[in-house]
Structure 1
Amino acid sequence: METPLKLVHLNLALLVAAGIGGLGCSHRPACSTTLHVIVSAGPTSRDPLMTFDRASLLVFGNVMQTVMADPTGQWSSSGVVERWTNPDPSTWVLYLRKGLRFHDGKPLTAQDVAASILRVRSEERSPLHGFVQNVASVVVEDSDRLRLVINGPANVLWRLASIPVTPGGAPVPPDGLPVGSGPYRVTEWRGNRIRMERTASGTIPPSVPQRVDIAIIPNAEGQLRAARALRPVIVVGAHQELLDEAGRSGLSPMEVETKGALYLVCNVRSGRPLASLEARRALAAACYGKIPSPPGGHWHLADDIIPRRVFGHVDGRFAIDSKWAVPAAVPKSRLRLVAVGNLASLAKAVAECLERGGWRVELVSMSPREAFRALQAGQFDLSVVGYDCTSGSALELLTLAFSRNGGTVNLSGYRNPRLDALVEEASLSFDPAAQRELLVEGGDIVVKDLPWIPLYQVKLIYLTSREVHLTSEAALGIDFSRVRIGP
């Protein structure tokens, strides 16, 4: 496997700017129902089953429907499953809504749902693979009914809310257009430009964008020039230069807390320098709060392993206090710190901080592919990673990054039987209050054991022209059907 589920050394352009943008009509009067969106980076793939980052969600969250509805309620389009039964702890029967069709007019059936799930399960390179790796079998029982059997009892519903349904689960060619069943369809994808058009039947209120023109503009100068020329317009993940010019350009800023964070991942496997809790405590005390924030973003010091906007977060849980005091005799061995891409500068700052504290650090720069292989093989002691908890629940983070079911996503090699039991119990619970109690206890365990050390959490800055009204939280993307254009 080359790319673990979403646990990627996120390009800072994706983590900070995190989106895509758009250019469209050259004359403003003709654009009354066309929304222009400007961002720094686009989807990493045209295939919705092979990508899962914030830039991709901005497109595919509007074009595709997932198997189950989004549990966070951020996206207005419901999942294709209308209801479900759970005849035994390992079996789920899913019933599809009637009359579903793809944008090309073909019916969306249980066969398409099954094919999409099975393709993601077979594609270990897909960042969605971890969501369905525990699916043992999928059986189509009727055109609108399928049966999932999983390896061991677990609630798969939140996992399936991240799996898009595509026609036959087929790959999208590099120059092809993705076909979905969501409220917008892609009409053009050429270079750094993506166009979408509203597909809903019936009368569409004039305040809802009927078209979305998207352009990927990586530099601040180009973004500012486009933002001045186009109306209505949204700039996603605005550069600081745009914030300085926002008022003069008729743009209003909106700050959005995301569900993503940057971490130091510690290799806690037996025989490694950070295998002991005392060594990890010494390392955390040496670097937490002492590393400069990454450039070009809007960051705040993380106060929990679970990001603030994620269900299960506890304010101030990750506090440096007397519990971090460690004996001076704790050996400060040589550490191999893997640095990747745009996070290399942050990794360098970590290395310098640790060296000031008496650690010896070997800073190793790798390509993303090399780094993933090294991390999965345990050939590292430390690495800076980014993680976006896109489900909005700590169950995702605790399951995939720290539990025995995390597979290759559990890069630290961490094991804790009590955490595994809590995660399993939480995954079977449908009571939010009871589930939160379990997740909070699980978060406390991870905070105390320190397989990961949180560094920074990130905020996004949206700039909008005065006639644009964002009605969704926009932490992971923008549901264009909820945007309103008007006075």
Structure 2
Amino acid sequence: MTRTRLASGASRHLIRVAAAGAAALVAAASLTACSGGSTGGAAATAEWKLTTTTAKPSGDIDSFSFALYAEPATLDYAYAFDYPDNQVLANVCESLLRLNPDYSLSPGLAKSFANPDPLTWVYELRDGVTFHDGTPLTAADAVASMQRIMDPQVGSSWFSVYQNVESITQTGPMEVTVKTKIPDSQFNQGMGGSAGVIESAATLAAKGKDYGNSTAGVNCTGPFALKEWKSGESLTLERYDGYWDKELRAKSKEMTFSIIPDATARVNAMKSGSVDGSWQIPMESAPQLQASGKGDVLYAPSSATSDLVVSNMKGVLGDKRVRQALLMALDRPGILKGASQGVGEISDVLTTKLVWGTASEAAKKTAFDDITRYKQDLAKAKKLVEEAGATGKELVYVTAPIGNDFSVVSQATLAAAQSIGLKLTIKTVSPAQYTALFSDPSAREGVDLFYTVWYLSSPDALEMYGVLRTGDFSNYGGWSDAEFDKTVNEAVGTMDPAARSVLTAKAQQIANEELPWLPLATGPLPLFLGKRITGLDPSMAFLYYPWAAQIGKR
């Protein structure tokens, strides 16, 4: 999905996906790993494997707690666009569709959906669903919730999911019909995230601009209801006994998110057992967390890649040869080792296989095997710079004091540029100024490169390439390629997932060759799960799936 507005605070794109431990993962008998990997070679400093499920709970639990590295900016689904916001909201509010831990989509508040013609999506809502205040879910609630995201006065972070929508109307007692201006396969893909959340129309009207803040709260349909929000301290959720989905009835009467911005304090809370878990644990702290005996360091499948965004195609990097040269000059194994202690894998593309679940096998081979590999080759890279007439030219790289990976990547980029005859100036800005790079074009003026960890919120790799089309808001460098645009636009209008994946694979090949962004690596999503609790299916879908409802007594 394309983005048009970022939530306040730290951008969702700047958070370190591989911000967790690198100690050798000793999987407990209660954990089941479905796949694994290690970086291999000199960069490998830790053994790790992906964990997709943990043992079923032995029973319910009175309460448990998770640490948050920052307070949510909001619980308003229209603006929820960051890790703290969405990991809380996922357990309280629900969408028309459900994005599952394996990144598949299934019915959510809509018990079914149909695409009777290329311009129409029809959603049939479930009967018997109630909001936390006990009022029943209706089609009018869905229409109000969805139209709100389209309202330019609201300025939703998720507006672009609706960019091709012509109308949203109630067409039956529990039926909503969406008409689009052009065939748009991606609209339905977005209904498993915040863009598809349904809130009580009455609550939206009553709360107004206060909706979703720490005083007004929210009134949704999820397995937990928001009980209390102590600003700067914690958010407490309580089990909603009227929840419609018996399979995801919360196994805990209550759960608390403790807001602990300081990384050391957060780790100490986990080591002491005063909090039971946390997503995105600090990488350097994983060994001590694993050794603490208080729980397990786990690595979940992720939809994110770490990349260098080329933010100025009118400058030196406007020549593809220079972009290719810089990527070939980068010591990416060294970056992986320094930034995440070797946990992860080098990547030459901008997506991970997690979002290719509905693709054909031929498309996946095209997308991940039939591509250019950019191995480090300084001699070849230097020659490309010379051929482009770029020797001695200057690049401006913007970074911020956010985490160790930001420092590692900036210094590695400096070394790479210098090694092939380029000059690179590193400009360090505040985290808030860094966040502005994603939302304010003026903040990118004179900037050639910046670092991001970019995750996808839908189960379709096309989401990534939609944002790189000519003129798209998130096409930060103004890159333009006619064949790419044609391919992506055709894919958007292709409703069959397998057929669409063939076109998406072609788009990935073009991006791999043209390098509008420079891919660095992929890494798992790290977390800590305390010894008191189990039942979680670790996944990047924790931002949209009611993961806390799964957790019970170990």
Q: Which TM-score bucket, shorter chain as reference? A: 0.7 to 0.9
Q: What is residue 62 of structure 1 aligned with on the other side?
A: 91
How far 1:352 sits from its partner (Å)?
4.3
Alignment of 1:185-200 (within 5 A): 185-190=225-230, 191-200=232-241
Which residue among 112, 123, 139 is the counterpart of 2:141? Answer: 112
- 2:89 alignment partner, SS class: helix
2:373 to 312, 319, 341: 319
- 1:194-209 equivalences under 5 Å are 194-201=235-242, 208-209=251-252
Hey, what does 2:548 align to over in structure 1?
Answer: 480
SS, match of residue 168 in structure 2: strand
Q: Decide whether the 8 Å contact of 1:289 with 1:455 is kept in 2.
A: yes
The corresponding residue for 2:502 is 437
Work out whether 1:363 is the aligned partner of 2:426. yes
Q: What RMSD, in angstroms, separates the aligned Cα atoms of the two structures?
A: 3.6
Q: Is the 8 A contact 1:9 1:368 kept in 2?
A: no
Spell out, residue by residue over 1:373-406, the C-alpha distance to the aligned partner (whole angstroms, 9 max, x if none). Answer: 236876532222221112132111111x2224x7
Which aligned pairs between 1:202-351 and structure 2 lie closer than 5 A? 208-230=251-273, 233-239=276-282, 240-267=284-311, 269=313, 271-287=314-330, 289=332, 292-293=335-336, 295=339, 298-311=343-356, 314=368, 317=371, 319-320=373-374, 326=384, 328-332=386-390, 333-340=393-400, 342=402, 345=407, 346-347=409-410, 349-351=412-414
Aligned to 1:161: 192
Mean Cα displacement is larger for which, 431-440 or 249-258?
A: 431-440
1:32·1:232 contact (CA, 8 Å) conserved in 2?
Answer: no
Q: Give the CA deviation at 1:66.
A: 1.0
Which stretch of the first structure deviates more once superposed, 473-482 or 157-166? 473-482
Tell which deviates more after alignment, 101-110 or 177-186.
Answer: 101-110
CA distance in 2, matches of 1:214, 1:265: 33
Secondary structure at 2:145's aligned position in 1? Answer: helix
**Larger displacement relative to structure 2 (451-460 or 86-95):** 86-95
**5+ unaligned residues in a row in structure 2: which ranges?**
22-59, 357-363
Change (3 A) 1:335 1:291: farther
Paired residues of 1:16 and 1:459 also in contact (CA < 8 A): no
User: TM-score by structure 1 length?
Assistant: 0.83
Contact in 1 for aligned 2:62/2:253 (Cα 8 Å): yes
CA offsets per residue over residues 226-247 of structure 1, 9 Å max, x none? 3345488223222333532433
Contact 2:6–2:79 (Cα < 8 Å) also in 1: no
Identify the match of residue 161 of structure 2 among 131, 143, 162.
Answer: 131
Partner of 1:26: none
Q: Is the contact between residue 264 and residue 384 of structure 1 (CA under 8 Å) also seen in structure 2?
A: yes
For each residue in 1:264-298, what CA deviation from the matched residue of structure 2 results, as whole angstroms up to 9, or x when unmatched?
122464x4322222222222222262763464775
* Residue identity matched to 1:216: I
Q: Distance in 1 between matches of 2:103 and 2:300?
A: 13
Q: Which residue of 2 aligns with 1:414?
A: 479
Q: How does 1:13-32 map to 2 (within 5 A)?
A: 16=19, 32=61
Q: What's the CA shift for 1:205?
A: 9.9
Identical positions, percent: 20
Deviates more, 1:450-459 or 1:330-339: 330-339
Give the match for residue 215 of structure 2. Answer: 175
Q: Which residue of 1 aligns with 2:30?
A: none
Output the amino acid matched with 2:469.
S
Pairwise CA distance, 1:160: 2.1
Please show how residues 15-54 of structure 1 align to structure 2 within 5 Å: 16=19, 32-54=61-83
Deviation track 1:161-193 (CA, whole Å, cap 9, x = no partner) reads 222222235532353222211111111111231
**In structure 1, distance between residues paired with 2:428 and 2:264:** 30
Letter in 2 for 1:433: A
What amino acid is aligned across from residue 143 of structure 2 in structure 1? A
Judged with a 3 Å threshold, the aligned counterparts in structure 2 of structure 1 residues 378 and 83 are, in CA distance, closer, same or farther, namely farther
Q: Which amino acid aligns with 1:402?
A: L
**1:203-243 Cα distance to aligned partner (Å, 9 max, x none):** 89999223212112233443344334548822322233353
Q: CA deviation at 1:261?
A: 2.0
- CA drift of 1:408 comes to 0.5
SS in 2 for 1:173: coil
Q: TM-score, normalised on structure 2? A: 0.74
Q: Which amino acid aligns with 1:246?
A: Q
Which residue number in structure 1 is paired with residue 50 of structure 2? none
